[in-house]
Chain A
Amino acid sequence: SAVISQKPSRDICQRGTSLTIQCQVDSQVTMMFWYRQQPGQSLTLIATANQGSEATYESGFVIDKFPISRPNLTFSTLTVSNMSPEDSSIYLCSAAASNQPQHFGDGTRLSIL
């Protein structure tokens, strides 16, 4: 299975600032995704990162707040913009071949003051 590296692993940020999370996969994969997980809660899909085109966002998530890039098959970034305390969460990158199980990065623990 693919090995997924995500960074930073954690950060503490001031409200109103933005943070970009990076995700690197060690092999070419068809699909990359970004999830959010609040403590004790389930994984919530933010968007599908599409190579070379705009990401596909789930209901409740918009590009202005969570811009995503995927310049190639092995790398993606998620930016959390204009952060507020409600954005404090764990952000997870995942990768999969189509209709195969997903594999996750270690996650980014984000706290907003």
Chain B
Amino acid sequence: RKEVEQDPGPFNVPEGATVAFNCTYSNSASQSFFWYRQDCRKEPKLLMSVYSSGNEDGRFTAQLNRASQYISLLIRDSKLSDSATYLCAVNMNTGGFKTIFGAGTRLFVKA
């Protein structure tokens, strides 16, 4: 089992739709969690951190469920510019701090 797993998609949604991505992690000692956005042929860029209490940034909402070991990202009112790959990332300290990334979920928002 991979340490961090995501549904690869692709998700094809119309503008204005709400779309949700999930990500599961296997190491219960994981310490912090993030969502990144990666555009084609570009480096990943931090979208938002994920907190146990849940957090919101405009149209984006992230949730963490430690008991079930998953994180989620909700995008409301999708825009064409939201089309990208969304990567979840998990920080863990297993004899040394490192970040493990999911394979990414591809999102296409169409007019």
Which A residues lie at the B interface, using CB under 8 A? 1, 31, 33, 35, 41-43, 45, 48, 56, 92, 94, 96, 98-107
Going nearest first, the 5 A-B pairs with the smallest beta carbon separation are A42-B103, A104-B43, A43-B101, A101-B34, A101-B46
Number of interface residues of B (CB under 8 A): 22
Residue B69 interfacial (CB < 8 Å): no
Q: Tally of A-B residue pairs with Cβ under 8 A?
A: 50
CB-based contact B96/A56 at 8 Å: yes
Chain B interface residues toward A at CB < 8 A:
31-32, 34, 42-46, 49, 87, 89, 91, 93, 96-104
Tell me, in angstroms, the Cα distance from A45 to B87 when the chains sit together: 14
C-alpha gap A1/B36 in the complex (Å): 14
A48 and B43 in contact (CB under 8 A), knowing A101-B34, A101-B49? no
Offer 29 A-B interface pairs, CB within 8 angstroms, sorted by A: A31-B97, A33-B98, A33-B99, A41-B103, A42-B101, A42-B103, A42-B104, A43-B101, A45-B98, A45-B99, A45-B100, A48-B97, A92-B44, A96-B99, A98-B97, A99-B32, A99-B93, A101-B32, A101-B46, A101-B49, A101-B89, A102-B46, A102-B89, A103-B46, A104-B43, A104-B44, A106-B42, A106-B43, A107-B43
